[in-house]
Amino acid sequence: MFQVGGLLVFCGLLARTTALLDGLPLRLDPALPLAAIPALPSVPSDLVGSLTSALSNGLLSGDLLGTLKGLPLLDTLKAAGGSSSGLLGGLLGTVTSVIPVLNSLAEVKVTDAQLLELGLEQSPDGHGLYVTIPLDLIVDVKTPLVGSVLKLDVKLNITAELLVVKDEQGRSHLVLGDCTHSPGSLKISLLDGLLPLPMKTLIDNLTGILNQVLPELVQGRVCPLVNETLSHLDVTLVHDVINMLTLGLQFVIKV
């Protein structure tokens, strides 16, 4: 089911966990809630699969796709190009060259959005997780400069870090750490084949602008949803994940 770049669950996990606990004088770390310890022997055999599908389902039922389709792309682009002191002023340098392009846009809209299979990696010290959230968007662009609707395929990965923190009562919680777009993960391509040269310039320019505004915009909507999703995860699943991360045990293995 999951072929996420080869993530496997370590089969000898249970044995190793038990062995570690037995040999561990710090077993009764006062900060570790007692209730968390008995959960260990029942670590599910596919913790990675359970976690990624729970996160994926949570994001979808939190209306991730609807949120993406509702992204105010046109407004953001127009606002960005609206004044030389705007968002893009410093980013694009010679903004004047793109203002005609921005002004010509009649519609820029996400018409289709998909959540692809989540990726999971464990931090080198074993105490954190990185969830890769790959998004695939179809963006329709309408401008009087082109007769037909231009369709762009936009791929973007958001990476969310999951960490364990303890509250004042010593209870552990699984929380969202860094959440950002993965550098270099934005890919924009034209779906409808070749265009005459002037249109190619338009697409190049539009792609350039989307590159500047889209990752932040998407991240600003997706990360709060990830945070929300975490708070609704199954309690047993969260306990299991917290136990593994607290002990720094590898359960996400890279092959």
The helix (run of H) or strand (run of E) holding residue 124 is none
For residue 16, the minimal CB distance to ligand NAG (Å) is 26
Which residues, in sequence order, are CB contacts of 25 under 8 Å at separation 6+?
none
At 113, list the tokens. 């959005």
Give how far Cα 153 sits from Cα of 141, 176, 247, Å: 11, 29, 42
Closest by CA to 39, choosing from 234, 254, 230, is: 234
Out of 68, 92, 162, 222, the only residue in the binding site for ligand NAG (CB under 6 A) is 92
For residue 106, the minimal CB distance to ligand NAG (Å) is 19
Residue 138 has a CB neighbour count (10 Å cut-off) of 16
- Looking at beta carbons only, is 5 or 90 nearer to ligand NAG? 5
Closest by CA to 21, choosing from 251, 250, 247, 245, is: 247
Out of 52, 157, 172, 229, the only residue in the binding site for ligand NAG (CB under 6 A) is 157
Out of 204, 234, 236, 248, the only residue in the binding site for ligand NAG (CB under 6 A) is 204
Site size for ligand NAG (CB under 6 A): 17
The interface region with ligand NAG, picked from 26-34, 72-80, 166-174, 203-211 by CB under 6 A, is 203-211
> CA 178, 183, 188, 189: dihedral to nearest 10 degrees?
-130
Out of 68, 73, 98, 242, the only residue in the binding site for ligand NAG (CB under 6 A) is 98
How far the first Cα of the chain sits from its last, in Å, is 16
Question: Per-residue string for binding with ligand NAG, 101-130, x by CB under 6 A?
Answer: ------------------x-----------
53-82: which residues touch ligand NAG (CB under 6 A)?
none
Out of 180, 227, 246, 250, the only residue in the binding site for ligand NAG (CB under 6 A) is 227
Judge contact between 155 and 110, C-beta under 8 A: no
Distance, CA of 255 to CA of 252 (rounded, Å): 10
The interface region with ligand NAG, picked from 22-30, 70-78, 139-147, 180-188 by CB under 6 A, is 180-188
Q: Does 229 contact ligand NAG by CB under 6 A?
A: no
Q: Does 205 contact ligand NAG by CB under 6 A?
A: yes
The helix (run of H) or strand (run of E) holding residue 183 is none
Residues near ligand NAG, by CB under 6 A: 5, 92, 97-98, 119, 132, 134, 157, 176, 182, 184-185, 201, 204-205, 208, 227
